[in-house]
Amino acid sequence: MAGNRENHRQQTPYRAWFRCGEGCDVRLDLTEIVYHCPKCGGLLEVEHDIERLKQQSPNYWRRLFDERYMRTNWPYGSGVWGKKEWVCPEVSNENVISMYEGGTNLFWAERFGAEIGVEDLWIKQCGNSHTGSFKDLGMTVLVSMVNEMIAQGIAIDAVACASTGDTSAALAAYCAAAGIPAVVLLPRAKISPAQLIQPIANGALVLSLDTDFDGCMAIVKEITKDKSIYLANSMNSLRIEGQKTVAFEIVQQCDWEVPDWVVIPGGNLGNVSALGSGFWMMKELGVINRLPRIVCAQAARANPLYESFLTGFAEFRPKKAEKTLASAIQIGNPVSIRRAIRTLKRFNGIVEQATEQELSDAVARADRTGLFNCPHTGVALASLIKCLEKGIIRKDEKVVVISTANGLKFPEFKIRYHTDALEGVVGHYVNKPVELPARAEAVLEAIRMHRDRMAS
């Protein structure tokens, strides 16, 4: 077992380890089962041997990553593992659990941009991934690391998470591919049926609890004090390492140029921290020479970060999240609050919020230009519209919106919108199906009426 580790250490000269995100002098191996700094209790971060990475030129890295991008050479064709040296060099290739996640399309939202008044609008379609959300990016790293640890003889019986739906889907799929038991804690009746069936289909132990996400989170923290159950929530910073590749990919897909703004929906606030960490790393390594500004977009019904932003981040108060259509970000006590605030300060960032009405209309409006958005992406799009209206984002700036999940996971939301059945929401872009007898004249008449309506 130890031999395996030694072989691997010879495979790569790059190293990474845990350090304290609050700055204590702490350094722990990535195979340690630990989520908090032993000195101050703050969250850990993965730190890379930047000096060693800097021994290669920015051009070396750009070329290497371009050569690997979306090819078959295991495991480098994965959008995450194609940047292995910058993500998690501590896993040997034979222990990687990957489904070739990442490499998602960057959609030029030309028509939608023109409608809302921004010329250069792009949408990073992170939901076009194995389980339909960006959570795959972090989970491939976490589950691979667990697989590596098990191969080294470390006793782990199962991996567990609390989830608003997408984390559990990703955990269940990657654990199933690895043959490692998965345990998921879900708030009863607060996730979509598609999200519920994903971990069921993948054979996870699915526990539906009579509480909300924050309640599930408290319990999963409790049960993972037992080190044989490994914690897969984003307070485990291995997840952040995989998710930061979204920043790498955006820059790579823009021919290694940096956009002016990145808009990210935020709940537990791991992802906003992850993207910040990715951009920061590229700047440290000289691959980019400036940083984008960041907008974190929250649902108005679950907006503790927005409220903190209004105080200039001087204060932060966790709150009880109210029910929102953007169920994956219905979180009142975000685990990554401190790192998110650090990120926003570093990126001259802002926080905007969207109401149920605003997020629903933004989804429908953008869908009419060829997209198929989830409600969380709707929060980001609605926040972008508000930033444009306020003049915070200018029409000639390049904007990338992070679409976090695939709209196909949320058909009930879309059906209810288009049948005007969403409580408290007036559908301004409703498109109802027309029911007709099976006769050609009736169909022709419907087409004529539709054309007249479009023309008027």
Among 199, 259, 265, 407, binds ligand PLP (CB under 6 A): 265
Q: Which does 109 bind (CB under 5 to 8 A by kind): Zn ion, ligand PLP, none?
A: none
Taking alpha carbons only, the member of 241, 266, 237, 261 closest to residue 250 is: 261
3-state secondary structure of 435: coil
| Shortest separation between residue 15's beta carbon and Zn ion, angstroms | 21
* Number of other residues whose CB lies within 10 A of the CB of residue 153: 10
> In terms of CB distance, is 337 or 364 closer to ligand PLP?
337
Candidates 25-33, 185-193, 265-273, 392-400 — which segment interacts with ligand PLP by CB under 6 A? 265-273
CB 259 within 8 A of CB 360: no
CA distance 281 to 192: 35
| Shortest separation between residue 339's beta carbon and Zn ion, angstroms | 13
Q: List 264's β-bridge partners, or say none.
A: 296
Is 266 one of the binding residues for ligand PLP (CB under 6 A)? yes
Task: Report how many residues bind Zn ion under the rule CB under 5 A.
Answer: 7
Is 75 one of the binding residues for ligand PLP (CB under 6 A)? no
Query: Helix, strand, coil: what percent of the chain each, to 5?
Result: 45, 15, 40
Q: Which does 40 bind (CB under 5 to 8 A by kind): ligand PLP, Zn ion, none?
A: Zn ion
Candidates 106-114, 139-147, 260-268, 287-295 — which segment interacts with ligand PLP by CB under 6 A? 260-268
In the sheet with 27-28, reading across from the earlier edge strand, the strands are: 27-28, 16-20, 44-48
> In terms of CB distance, is 92 or 198 closer to ligand PLP?
198
Q: What's the full length of the chain, in residues?
A: 456
Q: DSSP character for 306? A: H
| Shortest separation between residue 141's beta carbon and ligand PLP, angstroms | 14
CA distances to 36, 178, 353, 391, 397 from 388, rounded to whole Å, are 39, 45, 13, 5, 10
Is 267 one of the binding residues for ligand PLP (CB under 6 A)? yes
Interaction pattern, residues 196-225, with ligand PLP; x per rule: CB under 6 A = ------------------------------
Burial class of 315 by CB neighbour count within 10 A (0 to 12, 13 to 18, 19+): exposed
Taking alpha carbons only, the member of 145, 44, 36, 43 closest to residue 88 is: 145
Q: Which does 135 bind (CB under 5 to 8 A by kind): Zn ion, ligand PLP, none?
A: ligand PLP
Q: Which does 24 bind (CB under 5 to 8 A by kind): Zn ion, ligand PLP, none?
A: Zn ion
Scan residues 3-22 and list those touching Zn ion (CB under 5 A).
20, 22
CA atoms within 13 A on the CB side of 337: 19
Q: Which does 20 bind (CB under 5 to 8 A by kind): Zn ion, ligand PLP, none?
A: Zn ion
3-state secondary structure of 80: coil
Scan residues 93-152 and list those touching ligand PLP (CB under 6 A).
133, 135
| Shortest separation between residue 324's beta carbon and ligand PLP, angstroms | 12
Among 198, 268, 308, 330, binds ligand PLP (CB under 6 A): 268
- Within 237-303, residue ranges assigned H as helices are 237-243, 245-253, 270-284
> In terms of CB distance, is 238 or 287 closer to ligand PLP?
238
Scan residues 363-402 and list those touching ligand PLP (CB under 6 A).
374, 376
Candidates 96-104, 267-275, 303-311, 420-428 — which segment interacts with ligand PLP by CB under 6 A? 267-275
Is 42 one of the binding residues for Zn ion (CB under 5 A)? yes
| Shortest separation between residue 28's beta carbon and Zn ion, angstroms | 11
Candidates 30-38, 49-57, 245-253, 438-446 — which segment interacts with Zn ion by CB under 5 A? 30-38
Among 97, 123, 328, 381, binds ligand PLP (CB under 6 A): 328
Among 24, 200, 205, 392, binds Zn ion (CB under 5 A): 24
Question: Phi, psi at residue 386, to the nearest 5°?
Answer: -65, -40
Q: DSSP character for 405? A: B
Is 169 one of the binding residues for ligand PLP (CB under 6 A)? no
Q: List 48's β-bridge partners, or say none.
A: 16
DSSP 22-72: T--S-EE-TTS---B-TTT-PBEEEEE-HHHHHTS-HHHHHHHHHHHTT--
> In terms of CB distance, is 22 or 32 closer to Zn ion?
22
CB 180 within 8 A of CB 147: yes
Name the residues that contact ligand PLP, by CB under 6 A: 133, 135, 166, 234, 265-271, 328-329, 374, 376, 404-405
